Amino acid sequence: MEQFTVNEFQENFDSLIERVEGGESFQINYEGKSVMIIPAKEYQEAVETITEATSKDWDDFWYNEDTLCDI
């Protein structure tokens, strides 16, 4: 993944935003910390995947917990 400092990101803001709108993702670094900028669609898909996995994991947990209690 391509990385930029905050200054580089600010200097090239318009072109980098166009690239993100085109589907690219970047890491932006500042003082030892970093964030990512990703297309909204990619973010939404990740949230949906995590939500589905979490929901299924809880369903599995409660099923197993109930089964265990029945023993």
pLDDT of residue 51: 80
DSSP symbols for 24-65: --EEEEETTEEEEE--HHHHHHHHHHHHHHHHHHHHHHHHHH
Mean pLDDT of 42-54: 82
Is pLDDT at 65 greater than 70 in this prediction? no
CA dihedral 55, 44, 37, 31 (to 10 degrees): -20
pLDDT of residue 71: 47
Single pTM value for the model = 0.65
Task: Give the separation between CA 67 and CA 50, rounded to whole angstroms.
Answer: 25
Span 1-38: which CATH code? Answer: 3.40.1620.10
- Radius of gyration for the alpha carbons in the chain, expressed in angstroms and rounded: 20
> In the chain, where are the structural domains located?
1-38, 39-71
